[in-house]
Amino acid sequence: MNYAELIDKIPESEKPEILRLLRALDEAKAREAAQEHYLDFVKLMWPGFISGRPHKTMADAFERVAKGELKRLILNMPPRHDLRLSEEVPTTSGFKRIQDIACGDYVFGPDGAPRLVTGKSPVNRKPTYTVTTSDGASVTVSEDHLWTVRFRCCADDPYITLSTKDLYERQCRIKGASHIPKLPRLSPVEFPRADLPIDPYVLGVWLGDGNSHGASIGCGYGDMDSMRRQVEACGFQTTHNPKFQQFNILGLHEKLRVAGLLKNKHIPDAYLCASVDQRLALIQGLIDTDGCVTRDGKVTFHNTNEVLVDDLLSHVRSFGVKAKKTWGQTIYKG
């Protein structure tokens, strides 16, 4: 009999204790496996770790050393990341070109946490490839840059680590959408909390539906009360002229002028490099004004300001979320 059938026969009052014991059993099994196998130990200590072929090779070698089967072991690992010198990557102090990153800087790992740069490899002159993902993002890397991918969407399909050259040659041999490599889901990039001049939600509301010349927000009568409550909860006062479908945010005009945003709508760099909750609040303000969420959870943002659209695209991707930009011709009153 499996666990589910057994639990169905147990009185409700005893189920919490049984579930606790089952979790403890799973944890004990994981600890026992970690004492025998190196990769199991790594996954116990780092649950989000994704192992690839090099990790398996190293783990097997470490276990042979521990058992006394291998007396000497030399590891020679090339750089995993091999990007074009002008490629920009996020650091905790903003975006920097690869050639400008120095030891002591912090970049980000797949889990979104900062990682200290402790060394830089020499510049090589190997062939490069421009790799483009299905959402339109692209990066230029060398043939030796390593990617952790899988080729099916099944949860049991293992991730493997291959070089850019290996992936390119594989794609030349094998055609079809089912064989396109798929990247693992990434976590949001964890920038430190920023000291921002304007509350991020309020800025998002203004960028979406605000008058670019001032601090008034266009808003339908049906949404007026709830939107004003949201803005006032962020520390601002608002006023409403009943003759117009808009409300004013008191004290915002001067902040927008100082930030250089009047007649110049865009997302300032400080907001692109803010904490997870601050970046999310900005997106919420934009979606509440110029966005839409469908019943199945698809989120869209509509705007004719391409600078703002590109800023938001970069902003959303910092959460590890797949997003793409599309164009369309629209007509209003002819």
Buried b (16+ CB within 10 A) or exposed e, 48-69: eeebbeebeebbebbeeeeeee
- In this prediction, residue 158 carries a pLDDT of 83
| CATH T-level assignment (fold) for domain 200-317 | Endonuclease I-creI (3.10.28)
CA–CA distances in Å: residue 32 to residues 18, 22, 40, 88: 21, 15, 9, 43
Q: Where are the domains of the chain?
A: 3-66, 88-179, 200-317
- In this prediction, residue 116 carries a pLDDT of 92
pLDDT digits (tens, 9 = 90+) for 189-198: 999 899 999 9
pLDDT digits (tens, 9 = 90+) for 170-181: 888 887 767 789
- In this prediction, residue 8 carries a pLDDT of 74
pTM for this predicted structure: 0.72
Burial class for 44, CB neighbours closer than 10 Å (0-12, 13-18, 19+): middle
Which stretch of 24-33, 50-59, 221-230 has the lowest confidence by average pLDDT?
Answer: 50-59
